[in-house]
Amino acid sequence: MEQIKNCLIDYLKANSFMDKDTHLEDSDSLTQNGIIDSIGLLELIDYITEKYSIEIPEEMLTPENFDTLQGISNMIHKLAK
């Protein structure tokens, strides 16, 4: 799971969602911290589906699954099994 979180952070930094110096805890809100908005979320979903070769069911498109690194990592871990 740590590898997934690191890949997500690398993606967010490489695509200018967050500064290279920004530190993000696993439970920090990506939306409340201004890191990602609705368009950024769509881009992140595209990245996740391509990177991990998974389909994200509509019922999993929830704030709990996409607002924190922990939530995103947990969802990817469940779907990639």
Measured CA to CA, the distance from residue 50 to residue 33 in angstroms comes to 25
pLDDT digits (tens, 9 = 90+) for 25-39: 999 999 999 999 999
Residues 74/5, Cβ–Cβ less than 8 Å: no
- Can you list the alpha helix ranges (DSSP code H) found in the chain? 2-14, 38-51, 63-66, 69-79
Measured CA to CA, the distance from residue 22 to residue 25 in angstroms comes to 10
Count the domains in the chain.
1
CATH number at residue 34: 1.10.1200.10
Mean model confidence pLDDT for the chain: 94
Q: What is the pTM of this model?
A: 0.92
Give me the domain span that covers residue 44.
Answer: 2-79
Measured CA to CA, the distance from residue 57 to residue 59 in angstroms comes to 5
